[in-house]
A = this chain, B = another copy of it.
Amino acid sequence: MSEPQKIHDTPPMMTITDPAEARAVIRRGAYTGHTAGVAPDFVQGNVCILPRDDAMEFAAFCQRNPKPCPLIGMGAAGDPALPDLGDIDIRTDVPQYRVFRDGELVEERDDVLELWRDDLVTFILGCSFSFELPLIEEDISLQHVERDTVVPMYRTNIACTPAGKFNSDMVVSMRPLRPADAIRAVQITSRFPGVHGAPVHIGLPEQIGVEDVYKPDFGDPPAMNDDQLAVFWACGVTPQVAVEQAKPSLCITHKPGSMLITDKKNIELAAL
């Protein structure tokens, strides 16, 4: 393998470790960047806000597909609070939002105060940040972290269970690991069912419809060593693809990488 390259310049980053403090900065519009490494001990969530009727079907889609869509928070219709995840106003506490209408991205905003409606329901989905820290803490080197790149993600032939208008093949993220680390990673991530849990596939990418691991559908291309296996986890991009295909009249999400920071500790998601 060639020397790992740093593909991206390091983007601007907030270094606050307290989640409520980080949200306060974001709430007043003083930070609109990505949240990787912010309050690293705390759960960050993918955001998906939908009108009530779509929300009912989306809730069922998450329930039926917990590996790609691990639901860690759900609001009441019209209520922007998520009290079980912290003192949160979902209209202001995400650094950057994306607004989709009929499946099309129409704008990016720093807050969605003006778009809020009485029928909007907030979903917060767990993300792999929460299991990457326990992996790194056990000295399992993660290439995309080392290289400061975005983890490679792939569309697969693994069918999700549909629910109403929501359906998608599963999108997976891939981390190249040596076999012993892959085994340990299965053990560690099995403890975190709320953030994608154990891998869904290991080795043999073509079996799940990934023809070329060097050409991801999302994220940056990986390097693979001869002594590594491709280890695949269910990915939170899956529900995004399902939403794109369902084309709800309105959908508000976070901008990729700029997620909701919660007061829940990563370790609280450990099943045992």
A160 adjacent to chain B (CB < 8 Å): no
Counted per complex, copies of this chain come to 2
Once the chains are docked, how many angstroms separate the CA of A180 from the CA of B231?
11
Instruction: From B187, B227, B272, give the contact of A207 (CB < 8 A).
Output: B227
Q: Which residues of B contact A200 (CB under 8 A)?
A: 180, 183
Within 8 A of B (CB), among A181-204: 182-183, 186-187, 190, 198-204
Q: Is A179 located at the chain interface by the 8 A CB criterion?
A: yes
Q: For A272, what are the chain B residues with a Cβ–Cβ distance below 8 Å?
A: 272
B182 touches A202 (CB 8 A): yes
B203 near A183 with CB under 8 A, answer: no
Which B-chain residue is minimally distant from A199 (CB atoms)? B183
Q: Which interface class (under 10, 10 to 19, 20 to 34, 35 or more) fits A?
A: 10 to 19
The residues of B that contact A127 with a CB separation of less than 8 Å are none
Which residues from chain B contact A227 at a C-beta distance below 8 Å? 204, 207
Q: Judging by beta carbons under 8 Å apart, are B179 and A198 in contact?
A: no
Residue of B nearest to A208 (CB): B179
Q: Assess whether A229 is interfacial by the CB under 8 Å rule.
A: yes
Given contacts A187-B186, A187-B187, A187-B190, contact A202 B201 (CB under 8 A): no
Chain B residue, CB-CB nearest to A185: B186
Q: Is the CB of B204 within 8 A of A202?
A: no
Measured between beta carbons, the chain B residues less than 8 angstroms from A202 are 179, 182-183, 202-203, 229
**Which residues does chain B contribute within 8 Å of A183, judged by CB atoms?**
186, 198-202
| Residues of B with C-beta under 8 A to A198 | 183, 186-187
**Closest-CB distance, A215 to chain B (whole angstroms):** 20
Considering only CB atoms, which chain B residue lies closest to A229 in the complex?
B203
Chain B residue with the shortest CB-CB distance to A207: B227
Q: Say yes or no: A180 contacts B201, CB within 8 Å.
A: yes
A138 nearest CB across to chain B (Å): 14
Jot down 19 A-B pairs with beta carbons below 8 A, ordered by A. A179-B202, A179-B204, A182-B202, A183-B186, A183-B198, A183-B202, A186-B187, A186-B190, A186-B198, A187-B190, A187-B198, A190-B190, A202-B203, A202-B229, A203-B203, A204-B227, A204-B229, A207-B227, A272-B272
| Residues in chain A within 8 A of chain B (CB atoms) | 179-180, 182-183, 186-187, 190, 198-204, 207, 227, 229, 272
Extra A-B contacts (20), CB below 8 Å, given A186-B186, A186-B190: A179-B201, A179-B202, A179-B203, A180-B200, A180-B201, A182-B202, A183-B186, A183-B199, A183-B200, A183-B201, A186-B187, A186-B198, A187-B187, A187-B190, A187-B198, A202-B229, A203-B203, A203-B229, A204-B227, A204-B229
